[in-house]
Every structure is written in C-alpha cells, then in structure tokens.
C-alpha cells in the first residue's frame, strides 16, 4: 500500500490532473443522479400528498389517454373509494417560460392537497387558472391578473403552494380547459384512484393489491400502477434518470481514459523498475496487483473528491431559485458508496491493460529499458 502510494505521488502534477478527471466524472454522477433522485421524490410527493393509491393508465409505453367516462365505472367498483381524472401537459406560457399544467375537476381530491396562498379555487369549467407560487413569481403574476395561453386569456384565481416543487412550479386549470388546449376531446391522461379502506384511514397493501387486480381484470388494456411505481416509472422521471446516467457515463468514461493514460505512462516510465522487481523474484501477479492497486487508489481518491464536488454542485443547485425546490444537497450514504465503488471499478478497469502489460514484461528487456 505504501509502495503504491509513493508511486502515485511520484508525479504529483500528473496524479492531480488524473484525479481531476475522475473527480469530474464522479461529480457529474453524484450531481446528476442526485438531482434526478430528487426529481423522482418530487413526483412521488404529488401522488402521496393527495393520498393517491393507484394511477390508472393505458398499458402503452408513451402517451396514454383514457375516456373521461371511465371515471364513473371505476368509482362503481367496491374496492375504489374515489377516482379522479387528470390531464397533464407541458405548455409554453411565454416564449421563455414553459410549465407543467394540470387539468383537474373542481371537486378533485387533488385540490385538497395544495395550499392556496391567495385567491380561491377555480370554478367549474371557467377559463381560470391557479398558479404555483414559483411559476407566479417567474411570470410576475398575482391573483386577478390574466395569463394568455394559446390565444385564450385565463384569469389567475389563485396562487398556491403544491405538494412538490413540480406542482409549485406549475399551474392547475379546469380539466375541460386543458383538454381543449391539448386537443384531447374527452380524453384524460390518467385516473388517480383512492382505494377503499375497511379498517384504518390508509388502505392496507393487500387492499391496494386487490383493487389493482380488480381494475386490470375488469378493464383489459388498462394498468393500475401503485403510486410509488408511477413516480419511479413516470416518463419524465425515466428520461431524467436516463439523461443523468448517460451524461455521467460519458464523464466517467473520460475519467477512465485519464487513469488508463496515467497508468500506461507510469508503467512505461517504470519499465526498468518493474524489471528489477521481476529480477528480485516478484511474480507477475504481484506486479499486476501493485499496478492495479495504484489505479484503484487513483479511482478511490478521485471518487472521494468527486463526491465532495457533487455535494457542492447539489448545494449550488439547492441555492439557485429555479432549482431550489427540487435539488437536495444531501447525498445518501448508499449513493456515496455507489459512487466510490464505481470510481474504484473504473480505476481497476482502466488500469487492467497497463497492469497486464507491466506484469508480462520480460525482466531482461525491462532491465535494458532506457
């Protein structure tokens, strides 16, 4: 271990630059994956905050649309306490600002879960809109103002604080209005279902499971997804997670190339020393382990720096207004461990070829190396 550390510290500038490469990769991983995790948690809050147990959608991969009339049939099931339609879309409110818009009925239980800071709920199907407080601030709108969407003026009837940052950065309008703006006719995106509980206020998991099976049996082609799964597998969340991992993978690959280059250079410069070690009886395996240990140490140190960098990045995001409500500066222990293991793994993978080449050097050839 000490020998490996001394070898790494021999070329301090090169080691520092290599560490920067790995650290940047891990920083990207920690920050992006952490941000997508926070994003996922915000989606979960939307469902959990309103007491949604199941979300009924069509069993398709991308866009899902259901007849609004399905709501009555769902509510008639003995396992279902309530089922409310929901339309969700992302719309341009100004050339610079777009936001998630929800279309709900005026008696939807979803409305009970948001806190109205000023104004009142929308009524019926009127051209009214409720703005989340972050969106209202971005648009510089308050109760009584008007927001024009696709040529239709909507009166701002309330400013609210939602269950999650996504809602607080979005808006809610009558279901019919959003259906019209989205050309959905009488279709809705999903139904949010509260399962009937026979005992406690919260339905037991078995009751939720039974309701799910009942809905899927009675309505072929539909899926009743538990709220937690829906949050995790929401298209936007999946896309955010995939983007986070994809971007991190590119950054990590660049970091790995840095380690591979450093180790290859290090082995080349130490060719004669490796020859000496072979002459002194060191086996190929020990030489290989030494070089791999150095690569793993570089990876580990880069990982620790990267976690610090990721924490700083998340901390910065948490202090920026636009992302403050979503980003969390804390990094779960599991995620930090994952980052360290990933960094060590990258070090080992990147160091393997140089280590193999170093270990396979002929002692005599290595001793002759200038």
Partner 1 sequence: MSEWVLETRALTKYYDDGRIQALRGVDLQVREGEFVAVRGPSGSGKSTLLHLLGGLDSPTGGEVRFRGQILAHPFDVDLYRSRCVGFVFQAFHLLPTLTALENVQIPMMETRASASERRSRAEALLAEMGLDGRLHQYPAQLSAGERQRVAVARSLANNPEILLADEPTGNLDTENSLKILDLLAAIQARRNTTMIVVTHEEEVARRARRCITFRDGRICESFVPERS
Question: Per CB under 8 A, does 269 bind partner 1?
Answer: no
Q: Which is nearer to partner 1, 317 or 355 (CB)?
A: 355
Does the footprint of partner 1 cover residue 360 (CB under 8 A)?
A: no
Sorted by sequence, the CB contacts under 8 Å of residue 101 that are 6+ apart come out as 88, 89, 90, 91, 170, 171, 172, 173, 178, 181
CA distance 248 to 228: 25
Out of 45, 141, 223, 278, point to the residue binding partner 1 (CB under 8 A).
Answer: 278
Per-residue binding string, partner 1, 228-267, x by CB under 8 A, is: ----------------------------------------
**CB-nearer residue toward partner 1: 7 or 108:** 7
Q: How far is the CB of 202 from partner 1 (least distance, A)?
A: 60
Single out the segment in contact with partner 1 by CB under 8 A; choices: 5-13, 36-44, 119-127, 327-335: 5-13
104 within 8 A of 84, measured Cβ to Cβ:
yes
Which of 109, 245, 282, 356 touches partner 1 by CB under 8 A? 282
DSSP H or E run through 81:
strand 80-92
Cα–Cα distance measured from residue 29 to residue 191, given in angstroms and rounded to the nearest whole number: 35
Nearer to partner 1 by Cβ, of 277 and 317: the residue is 277
Report yes or no: 113 and 121 within 8 Å, Cβ to Cβ.
no
Using CB under 8 A as the binding rule, whether residue 272 contacts partner 1 is answered as: yes
Those residues with Cβ within 8 angstroms of residue 279's Cβ, 6 or more apart along the chain or in another chain:
363, 367
Is residue 273 close enough to count as binding partner 1 by CB under 8 A?
A: yes
- In 3D space, the residue among 257, 337, 311, 262 whose CA is nearest the CA of residue 28 turns out to be 311
Smallest distance from partner 1 to CB 32, Å:
38
Binding residues (CB under 8 A) for partner 1: these are 2-3, 6-7, 10, 272-273, 276-284, 286, 362-364, 367
């Amino acid at each position: 271990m000490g020998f490996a550390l001394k070898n790494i510290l021999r070329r301090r500038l090169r080691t520092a630059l290599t560490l920067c490469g790995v650290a940047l990769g891990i920083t990207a991983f920690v920050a992006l994956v952490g941000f997508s995790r926070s994003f996922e948690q915000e989606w979960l809050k939307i469902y959990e905050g309103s007491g949604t147990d199941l979300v009924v959608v069509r069993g398709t991969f991308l866009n899902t649309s259901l007849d609004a009339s399905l709501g009555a049939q769902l509510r008639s099931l003995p396992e279902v306490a309530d089922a409310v339609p929901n339309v969700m879309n992302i719309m341009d409110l100004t050339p610079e600002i777009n936001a998630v818009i929800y279309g709900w009925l005026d008696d939807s239980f979803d409305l009970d879960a948001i806190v109205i800071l000023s104004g009142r709920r929308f009524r019926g199907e009127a051209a009214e809109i409720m703005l989340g407080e972050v969106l209202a601030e971005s648009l510089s709108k308050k109760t009584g103002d008007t927001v024009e969407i696709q040529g239709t003026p909507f009166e701002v009837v309330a400013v609210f604080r939602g269950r999650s940052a996504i809602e607080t950065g979005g808006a809610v309008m009558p279901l019919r209005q959003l259906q019209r703006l989205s050309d959905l006719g009488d279709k809705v995106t999903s139904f949010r279902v509260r399962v009937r509980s026979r005992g406690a206020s919260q339905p037991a998991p078995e009751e939720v499971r039974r309701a799910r099976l009942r809905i899927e049996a009675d309505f072929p082609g539909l899926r009743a997804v538990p709220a937690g799964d829906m949050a995790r597998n929401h298209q936007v969340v999946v896309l955010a997670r995939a983007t986070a991992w994809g971007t991190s993978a590119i950054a990590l690959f660049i970091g790995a190339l840095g380690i591979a280059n450093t180790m290859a250079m290090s082995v080349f410069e130490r060719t004669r020393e490796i020859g000496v070690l072979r002459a002194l009886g060191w086996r190929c395996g020990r030489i290989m382990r030494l070089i791999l240990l150095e690569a793993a140490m570089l990876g580990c140190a880069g990982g620790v720096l990267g976690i610090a960098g990721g924490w700083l990045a998340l901390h910065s995001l948490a202090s920026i207004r636009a992302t403050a409500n979503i980003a969390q500066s804390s990094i779960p222990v599991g995620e930090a461990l994952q980052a360290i293991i990933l960094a060590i793994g990258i070090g080992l993978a990147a160091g393997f070829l140089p280590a193999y080449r170093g270990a396979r050097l002929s002692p005599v050839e290595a001793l002759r190396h200038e």
